[in-house]
Amino acid sequence: MRSFDYYSPPSLQEAFSLLSRFGEQARALAGGTDLIVQMKAGKTRPSAIIDVKNLAELKRLEWITPDTLFIGAAVP
């Protein structure tokens, strides 16, 4: 597995900025199991990992309407 830069942005806006800056060379990390397996197998070689699991906006779980449940990307 090759080396990479690790970022843990404090806001969703900064996460978007980092993802935009690194483009195809970045991967978002929320849990990591699949990404780490792919990296160890050489299937993906990102130069930047953007850790989004601690962003409050992505941990949101709530009913929007009686028929619509919003599940954020980092909800376990």
What's the pLDDT tens digit per position in 39-52?
999 999 999 999 99
User: What is 30-64 written as a DSSP string?
Assistant: SS-HHHHHHHHTTS---SEEEE-TT-GGGS-EEEE
**Domain map (residue ranges) of the chain:** 5-71
CA distance from start to end of the chain: 27
Contact status, residue 50 vs residue 28, Cβ threshold 8 Å = yes
3-state secondary structure (DSSP) of residue 14:
helix
Q: What does the pLDDT look like over 21-67, one tens digit per residue?
A: 999 999 999 877 799 899 999 999 999 999 999 999 898 999 999 99
Q: Say which residue, 16 or 57, is predicted with more confidence.
A: 16
Architecture of the domain whose range is 5-71: 2-Layer Sandwich (3.30)
Full-model pTM:
0.80
